[in-house]
Amino acid sequence: MEAVELKVSNKDWLYISIIGTLFGFFISLFFYFLNDMFQNASTVIFGTFSAFSITLFSSLFISISNNHILPNLDKKFWYIISFVFSFLSGALGFLFSYSIFYIIETPITNIIEPYSLYLTFTVGALTFLIGLILHQFISMKYKNESIKNEILNSKLKALENELNPHFLFNALNSMSELVYIDQKKAEKSILDLSKFLRNAIKTDSLIDIAEELDMVRTYVDIENIRFDTKIKLHIENKNHVNILLPKFSIQLLVENAIKHGFENKILNIYITVDKDICVSNDGKVTKDLKFGTGLSNLNNRLRLLNVGNLLYEDKQPMQFRIEVNNK
Amino acid sequence: MKILIVDDEKLASSRVARILNELGITDITISNDSLEASEYIVKNKYDIIFLDIQMPNMTGLELANKILELEPKTFIIFQTAYDQYAIEAFQSGGIDYILKPTTNENINNALQKVKKFLKQHQMRFQKR
């Protein structure tokens, strides 16, 4: 139903008017050559003007319908209203043109006068059918545009979420103190962070699983400075085929596990790579989990890059699964 | 001046303690667990409490409410890596909001704020 509420831009209306008028011109030309009695300039002028008039009525009716009628009606009536209005655009557009030509007494109106009512109905029905085709056409165009926008937005969001700045500030805070306590450890953590940041600023959207897992290890090493080595990472890679993943996808699930699962005691995080990728932990279980910004962003990136889907498996321990498409 | 530092990260809490030591403050208690800290505040009175916000079991904002219910005169200084909790933190009664990484300067500024607040209140009291 949502396609009915499409807004037709002024540019689209200009194209529709030009195409509609040309359509009327050629149809009238067709009739002009079809029979001797139509071989009059008024046939072509009337046909062209009628088509132009129909597009004007369509523009008027669709604008009124979209701006004033549809927003106040239940969606189940939208199609009926649109059908009625497209029919009326054709019928009234034709009648308007016919009335003008009738008043100025042109030869064509004299010929079609006995059939004017049938013709009005037929033109209305034709306009409805053409409107239906145009509707499909414009809705396809809008769908394409919205997909493009979604990709762009997801890319932007992905960039925004690739590196959680809070993680960075917390890590830097801990490192600043570690310098006073254990200089060797502080040096290692600074080098880890620099390695992590180097990967973060890489422009590739997809990276291979080995690289992602390496980044996860570095990430957990950095987090362990803060959490006193209470985060234990267990990685099992059973897959021998290389999987390409959006950058930071497993890292985000590990970050999520620490953020929501850590209870100031040992937190085991298990990553199993087989045909799919599972990330689970034995920490605090979140009830009624909802995909927040980070998880939704990851799911979008997985879908947009045609890698797979993110699933949450409602069991203990907390488990997320990246369902990979090409296994 | 009796101070309590509550932060689930050991390095973060020891950083605040070290900076306070450098500023000449020595009566410092550290807690790395918000539940444990909530027991401390029942048994002891603290002049200033440094609170982290994102902590397991009980957040710093929840703990602040509990502290001020028990002892409204306590000064709470929040310290966190998140800037989005600032309004909530001040609404909870915090006197300052420090963004990590914590520095000598921002801890000193927070302490100056406490001193200024106390001075103003003393002056008002004397005027009455």
Nearest by CB to residue A170, choosing from B10, B32, B81, is B81
**In this predicted structure, what is the pLDDT of residue B16?**
97
Instruction: Assess contact for A297 and A157: CB atoms under 8 A.
Output: yes
pTM to 2 decimals? 0.62
pLDDT for the residue numbered A141: 79
Rounded Cα–Cα distance for residues B9 and A171 (Å)? 10
A322, A310 Cβ separation under 8 angstroms = yes
ipTM of the complex as predicted: 0.86
Residues in chain B with CB shorter than 8 Å from the CB of A167 are: 81
Q: Which pLDDT score, from 0 to 100, does residue A289 have?
A: 74
Residue in A169, A225, A227 closest to B100 by CB:
A169
Check residue B26 and give its pLDDT: 94
Written as one letter, the residue type at A323 is E
CA distance A308 to A161: 19
Indicate if the pLDDT at residue B7 is higher than 90. yes
In DSSP notation, A175-199 reads HHHHHHH-HHHHHHHHHHHHHHHHH
* pLDDT confidence of residue A2: 43
Rounded to the nearest 10 degrees, how much is the dihedral formed by the CA atoms of B18, B21, B23, B25?
140
- CA-nearest of A278, A273, A279, A276 to A308 is A276
Q: Please, which residues have CB within 8 angstroms of residue A41's CB and are 6 or more apart in sequence?
A: none
Mean pLDDT (chain B) is 93
Give the pLDDT of residue A154: 67
Q: How far is B22 from chain A (nearest CA, A)?
A: 13
Please tell me the number of Cα atoms within 13 Å of A155 on its side-chain side.
11
pLDDT in 10s for each residue of chain A, 327 residues: 344 455 667 787 888 889 889 988 998 889 888 888 888 888 899 999 999 999 889 888 888 888 888 888 887 787 788 888 889 999 999 999 999 999 998 888 888 889 989 999 999 999 888 878 877 877 787 788 888 877 766 665 665 565 677 889 999 999 999 999 999 999 999 999 999 988 887 767 788 999 999 999 999 999 999 998 999 999 998 877 788 898 888 999 999 899 888 888 999 999 999 889 999 999 888 777 777 778 888 888 888 778 899 988 877 778 899 988 876
Identity of the residue numbered B124: R
Helix (H, G, I), strand (E, B) or coil at A244: strand
Helix ranges restricted to H, B1-128: 10-22, 34-43, 60-70, 86-91, 104-127
> Which residues of chain B from 1 to 60 reach within 8 Å of chain A, CB to CB?
8-12, 14-15, 18, 32-33, 54, 56-57
Cis preceding linkage at A317, omega within 30? yes
What count of CB pairs under 8 Å joins A to B? Answer: 55
Residue count of chain A, please give it.
Answer: 327
Condensed to tens digits (0 to 9), the pLDDT of residues B8-50 reads 999 999 999 999 999 999 999 999 999 999 999 999 999 999 9
Sequence-ordered list of residues with C-beta below 8 angstroms from that of B102, at least 6 positions apart, any chain: A173, A176, B12, B15, B16, B19, B79
Are the CB atoms for A220 and A231 separated by under 8 Å?
Answer: yes
The pLDDT tens digits of the residues spanning B49-101 come to 999 999 988 999 999 999 999 999 999 999 999 988 999 999 999 999 999 99
pLDDT of residue A5: 54
A181 touches chain B (CB under 8 A): yes
pLDDT at res. A91: 93
Q: Which of A:130-159 have CB within 8 Å of B?
A: none
pLDDT of amino acid A163: 61
Judge if the upstream peptide bond of residue A114 is cis by omega within 30 degrees of 0: no
Interface of A with B in 219-248 (CB under 8 A): 225-228
Chain B positions in Cβ-Cβ contact with residue A181 (cut-off 8 Å): 11, 14
- In order, the DSSP letters of B65-90 are HHHHHH-TT-EEEEEES-STTHHHHH
Distance (Å, rounded) from C-alpha A216 to C-alpha A254?
8
Q: Does A170 touch chain B (CB under 8 A)?
A: yes
Q: Which residues neighbour A269 within 8 Å (Cβ) at sequence distance 6 or greater?
A: A220, A231, A232, A233, A234, A254, A257, A258, A279, A280, A281
Q: Tell me which chain A residues have a C-beta less than 8 angstroms from the C-beta of B8.
A: 264
Spatial distance between the Cα atoms of B66 and A228, rounded to a whole number of angstroms: 28
Size of chain B, expressed as the number of residues it contains: 128
3-class secondary structure, B46: coil
At A206, phi and psi to the nearest 5?
Answer: -110, 135
Nearest by CB to B101, which of A169, A259, A284? A169
For CA atoms B17, B23, B26, B27, the dihedral sign is: negative
Asked if A169 is an interface residue toward chain B (Cβ–Cβ < 8 A), one would say: yes
| Window 82-101 of B, Cβ < 8 Å to A | 82, 99-101
